[in-house]
Amino acid sequence: MTAWVADHVEDRTVVLGLNGAQGTGKSTLARLLQQLLERIHGLRAAIVSLDDIYLSGADRLQRANTIHPLLATRGVPGTHDVDLGIRVLRCLREGRPIALPRFDKAKDERHPAAKWPLWEGRCDVVLFEGWCVGARPQRSDELEAPVNGLERLEDPTGDWRYYVNRELGGHYQALFAELDLLVMLRPPDFDRVYAWREEQEARLRATSSGPEVMSPSAVRRFVMHFERLTLFMWEEMPGRADAIVYLGENHAPIQVDLGDERRDV
């Protein structure tokens, strides 16, 4: 895949979106691509994560109090600072110095801006990773029926999912318009998303007892926030993604589609 990415770099910065559900390995793939692009192709690659442009806890609480309580939980469209994301991507593309935002998930807050790492000099590739990077909104009629217990019990009138969908169809499309390439990581099914996210949390539970660590039931509830859009992306995105990496039950890639080219792994 690194050669495929490098082939798209000519005399401009390429912004590559990495889309994948929770636990699919987006961050790991981004770091690997960054290292290989530099080592093999001599290209400088910056990593930008959708997770690092969350709104502050206070801003999300304000939305939870005025729009819907579920907006207190970070993750869905409507809980990010989209303007910040656009500014970061454009600065990297234009070769201007920019401090790359960082978010502290343990504290549920951004790191102080003074601690953000500064990127200077050329940037050949921007690896922009996130669970809904490149997503498009659903039709309004597709939002009517709840897809899981969270929507049925905590969003019975649909206010939350309609708001999230409107946000996705609005300013988020300007953010995703910055992409030159879109790569999708596709797990076998949604049960794997639950399982892989729980594996991540189990590793945290083994080393920490802090309040940020979730129980298995809390993990299941958390992942439900993303189920609707994840299932829709699996249906809609493959027809326009530039590459699809299909993952097996054991998390390893089993097939990679690069445009018209299909490779078994």
pLDDT digits (tens, 9 = 90+) for 132-166: 999 999 999 999 999 999 999 999 999 999 999 99
- What is the tens place of the pLDDT at every residue in 236-248? 999 999 999 999 9
What pLDDT band is residue 262 in, cutting at 50, 70 and 90?
Answer: low
Average pLDDT over residues 30-50: 97
Nearest alpha-carbon partner for 115 in 98, 97, 96, 102: 102
Print the domain residue range for 20: 11-259
In a domain, 2, yes or no: no
pLDDT beyond 80 at 261: no
Q: Which tokens hold the place of 207?
A: 């080393």
Angstrom distance (rounded) from CA 45 to CA 8: 13
Q: What is the pLDDT of residue 210?
A: 62
Q: Are strands 125-130 and 45-49 parallel, antiparallel or unpaired?
A: parallel
Q: What is the pLDDT of residue 201?
A: 82
SS3 157: coil
pLDDT beyond 70 at 263: no
Q: What is the pLDDT of residue 211?
A: 62
- What is the tens place of the pLDDT at every residue in 45-68? 999 999 999 999 999 999 999 999
In a domain, 1, yes or no: no
In a domain, 215, yes or no: yes
Containing 230, the helix (H) or strand (E) segment is: helix 216-236
Q: What is the pLDDT of residue 108?
A: 86
Share the mean pLDDT of the chain: 93
* The total number of structural domains that make up the chain: 1
Are 126 and 78 a contacting pair, CB within 8 Å? no
The share of the chain scoring above pLDDT 90, in percent, equals 83
3-state secondary structure 23-85: CCCHHHHHHHHHHHHHHHHCCCEEEEEHHHHECCHHHHHHHHHHCCHHHHCCCCCCCECHHHH
Angstrom distance (rounded) from CA 94 to CA 82: 18
Q: What is the pLDDT of residue 73?
A: 93
Q: Which tokens hold the place of 197?
A: 């996210």
Domain containing 86 — which CATH number?
Answer: 3.40.50.300
Average pLDDT over residues 122-130: 97
Angstrom distance (rounded) from CA 65 to CA 230: 26
In a domain, 6, yes or no: no
- What is the tens place of the pLDDT at every residue in 171-227? 999 999 999 999 999 999 999 999 998 988 888 777 765 666 788 899 999 999 999
In a domain, 5, yes or no: no
pLDDT beyond 90 at 16: yes
Query: For the chain, how many helices (H) and strands (E)?
Result: 9, 11
In a domain, 34, yes or no: yes
Angstrom distance (rounded) from CA 80 to CA 252: 30
In a domain, 211, yes or no: yes
pLDDT beyond 90 at 130: yes
Angstrom distance (rounded) from CA 143 to CA 165: 9
Please state the pTM of the whole predicted model: 0.94
Residue type, 256: V
Average pLDDT over residues 106-126: 93
First to last CA, the chain: 12
What pLDDT band is residue 230 in, cutting at 50, 70 and 90?
Answer: very high
Residue 181: CB atoms within 10 Å: 18
Q: What is the pLDDT of residue 98?
A: 97
In a domain, 265, yes or no: no
